[in-house]
Every structure is written in C-alpha cells, then in structure tokens.
Structure 1
Amino acid sequence: MTEDQETIEPSLDALYRRPGFLLRRAHQISVALFLEEAAGLGITTTQYGTMVVLRARGALDQVGIATLVGIDRSTTALVVSKLEEAGYIERHDDAVDKRRKVITLTKAGHAMLDRVAEPAQRARERSLSAFSPKDAAKFLGLLERFVAVFNEQTRAPIRTHSGRKGSKRGASKITLP
C-alpha cells in the first residue's frame, strides 16, 4: 500500500461510518427496493406517501400534504402535478375559501394504492430482511427516535397535528409505511 493510499483509506472509512452518509445510502437502497417491487406501476415513493396521506386524512391542501409527508412546498407542487396528470388526484376550490385548492384522491388513485399495497409491503419486508425480527423492531424504533428528536430541525418537518412549531402536539410519533 502506498503512502497516498494509507492517507485515503482512513478518510474513506470515516466517511462510510458517518450517520448522514449511511442514512443517505440506506434511503437510496430503500427507494431502489420500492421502485423494483413497484416496477411497471410508475409511482415513486414520494407519490405513494402523498397518496397514503390523502387516503388517511381525506381532502387536504398542498401545505397540509407537505407537513404530513415531510417535503418542502415546491416538491409538493411537483408531486401533486404529477399525480393530477396521472388522474390519481383532483383539485377543487375550497367551499369556504375560494383561494384555497383542496386535493382528494380519485377512484383511480384509490385503485393505484390498492395495486401498490403488496409491492410496498414486499419492499418493506426486503428492507428489513437484513435483520432478525427483534433487530428489525429495534432498528425501526431507533429510526423513529432519531426522526422525532431532529424533526423540527429540518426544512420540512412532519406535523401530524395542527399546532405551532415546536409544540408537543406537532411532535407525535411518526410511523412510516
């Protein structure tokens, strides 16, 4: 091993052991597993999450979707546009505030969620197959704790309840699909 290789190797090891690096890489792997399992359905993980939120909560505006999925407003606008183009959602004027657009799932959106349920479950199982059942539960618990502790420090915090930034109500347990 040359002297240059010796100085590079420790820095690569340090990089590969950084939490941020590992989390980013784990996210890439998780997305790849989902896309592989849902191949042919033409849906991304963020689109899936948006549709799950709409099914769970009913009619929402873009800000409501953004705060429940944990994505910024510009990404939400892109996701909503793609889902609308695909016929999975519709936008309507709010009955009370005509400036506000309310977004709902269409029949096609509900049907897509039904079709993607099994592939999403397979992707989840594959991603956790690296662990024993006990370790998988511990891994998920640790990820949930990490997200709960640092949720408010992101550009797009998840808020499952209406409440002011930093309130205990807004920091409820986050359960991801």
Structure 2
Amino acid sequence: MAERDGERAPHPCYSLAVRQAGRWITQLYDQHLAGVGLTSSQFGVLSHLDRLGSVGLAALAQAMVMDRTTLTRNLAPLERDGLVEIVPGKDDRRRKDLALTPAGRDRLKAARPHWRRAQAAFEKHFGAEDAAALRSLLQAVPGGRARAKAALGDASG
C-alpha cells in the first residue's frame, strides 16, 4: 500500500470505509443508549415503529433497509421485554403487524435524550455542517444516483 508522509494511504474500498465508519458510529450510539438498555439498532426499530405505527415485518425491514432475518433478530429482545407486540394487521386481520407497546413508547421517550447526546457527540467530533452533509449523502445511497443528485440539489442528470 502506498505511503504518504509516513502514513498509509486510505484503502480505496467504499464498502470497507462505510463499514468501519458504521462500526465506530454504532459504538458511539450504543455507549449512549446503554443507560436505557437499548442498542442503536433497537432504538432504530422503536423509532421507526413510533413514526410508522403498526406495520408488517416486510414493510418495516424495507423502511429500515434491513433484511428480515436481521430485523427479526433485533425484534426478539424488544418483544421479550414487552416493548413491541404483534397485532392483527390494519387492513387484513389475518396478517400480523408489529406495534409499540406503552412500555415501548416509554422506553423510547427515555432513550431520546441519550440519542440526542450521541447526535451531539458525533457532531462535535465531525463538525455539525459536515455531519449534516454526510447524513444527506448516506441517506441518498439506498435510492441510487437519481436520489443522490436530488439530495445534492443537482437535477441536471
């Protein structure tokens, strides 16, 4: 690997860079959320359910850009702890949806100040403007190039 001023040049792999950054960010958020007994992934599930209301597993997995197996693994302790429940579907009573329980809403409410502190710590580390730009770019990734251009304000194609 090429060296620059005694340092190794960054690895050229986008996936590796995103995964390394993701692990660092996950650790940061997990440390902040540990006080309320949640991981960052579990907080994400509760937060999505709070925003979406009762929703099927497939729809929640799609909204979170997560495979169903991983989502199911994250749901198990939330359901066990009474934070999430399986309810009859809104449109089809035979379908099963996921919903926050009152205890889940309470835990999410308790977790939000911890999450805000994690947000602030990330912004302090990275800079508020760069952090916001990074979030915008990363949110554009699942939607592909057209969505990325729209997020950056470039509709020129």
Q: TM over 0.5: same fold? A: yes
What is residue 132 of structure 1 aligned with on the other side? 127
2:2 is matched with: 10
Stretches of structure 2 lacking an aligned partner (at least 5 in a row): 152-157
Q: CA, structure 1 residues 97+132, in 2 after alignment: closer, same or farther (shift >3 Å)?
A: closer
Q: Which amino acid aligns with 1:51?
A: L
Q: Which residue matches 1:153?
A: none
Give secondary structure in 2 for the equivalent of 1:39: helix
Q: TM-score, normalization: structure 2?
A: 0.78
Q: CA RMSD in A?
A: 2.6
State the alpha-carbon separation in 1 of the partners of residues 11 and 74 from structure 2.
Answer: 31
**Residue 93 (structure 1) aligned with residue 88 (structure 2):** yes
TM-score by length of 1: 0.70
| Distance in 2 separating the partners of 1:90 and 1:45 | 19
Alignment of 1:52-63 (within 5 A): 52-63=47-58
Aligned-pair distance for 1:46?
1.7
Matched residue SS, 1:16: coil
Alignment partner for residue 31 of structure 2, among 29, 36, 40? Answer: 36
Report % sequence identity: 26
The SS at the match of 1:71 is coil
Q: 1:78 aligns with which of 70, 73, 76?
A: 73
Asked if 1 retains the 8 angstrom alpha-carbon contact of 2:29 and 2:118, the reply is yes
Contact 1:59–1:102 (CA under 8 A) maintained in structure 2: yes
Alignment of 1:49 onto 2:36 = no
In structure 2, give the amino acid aligned to 1:139.
Answer: L
Deviates most, 29-38 or 127-136: 127-136
